[in-house]
Structure 1
Amino acid sequence: MADKVSKLAEKGIVIFSKSTCCMCYAVKVLFKELGVTPMVCEIDQDPEGREMEKALMKLGCNAPVPIVFIGGHLIGSTNEVMSLHLSGQLMPRLLHP
């Protein structure tokens, strides 16, 4: 399962999300407002979602969701994404993943 998560994470901009999570929604809206269309993996709608969540935690994710990868690099959860955005460091990463 870790291989599947890693392969998905390499695909540009990826958000591992749950469809009912308000923090996931906020991150997806932020990306949309920035004009970015990330690949979104709704792990609560995936039959292998539980295993994907465990694999994400093993990769060093400190929160279950949302988990954001840009260019195969783990960015983190809502706090890390918002911190990068507020400091002006998110857009350059999104433009050059």
Structure 2
Amino acid sequence: MDTMSRSEAQELLWADHRCFRIDKPCVPSALQLLSPLDGPLERVEKIAMENAVVVFGMSTCCMCHVAKTLLCGMGVNPRIVELDNDVSGPAMERAIIAKMVLLPYSNSDIHQHPPLSSAIKPTLPAIFMGGRLIGGLDHLMALHISGSLIPLLKDVGALWL
């Protein structure tokens, strides 16, 4: 049996450590422990279907904060999923971004969503209403400015007045 010297073992551990960037420890939630076989897209869709309004974002993102503040200021109690505090957050973020790229082509009414420029990559926050991806902060603000946000929130059951 081949044995490794202490310095070789330390170098191997150091090489492995450099491959991973861990900002803070992630603890799996009860949902993740109960359904570990769900893929990231399935998990995103499940969360979106179970809540009237969901905001997927990052805890340190200013645009995510603006979306949360706007919705809470209107009396909506959205489900907030901070992907940087979730074990499967990076995989869910990739699934959401892929879904956002296809957003303009997924609805029959193409004019409901502003077109995505080829130079602009979809970013967080990603807002779901009634189980359907609405888009990012730009789409949320466009709905608000056009006056169609409140009726949409009423339709999905997030507002009653």
- TM superposition score category, shorter chain reference: over 0.9
Give the Å deviation of 1:20: 0.2
Specify the alignment match of 2:113 in structure 1: none
Structure 2 counterparts to residues 1-97 of structure 1, below 5 A? 1-10=40-49, 11-61=51-101, 63-97=122-156
More strand by share: 1
Contact 2:58 2:124 in 1 (8 A): yes
Give the Å deviation of 1:76: 0.3
Identity %: 39
Q: Which has the higher contact order (CA 8 A, sep 6+)?
A: 1
Q: State how far apart, in whole Å, the 1-side matches of 2:44 and 2:148 are.
A: 25
Structure number with greater Rg is 2
CA RMSD of superposed structures (Å): 1.1
Query: Greater shift after overlay, 59-68 or 82-91?
Result: 59-68
Contact 1:53 1:64 in 2 (8 A): no
TM-score by length of 1: 0.94
Q: State how far apart, in whole Å, the 2-side matches of 1:49 and 1:63 are.
A: 16
Amino acid at match of 2:73: E
Q: State how far apart, in whole Å, the 2-side matches of 1:56 and 1:32 are.
A: 22
TM-score by length of 2: 0.58
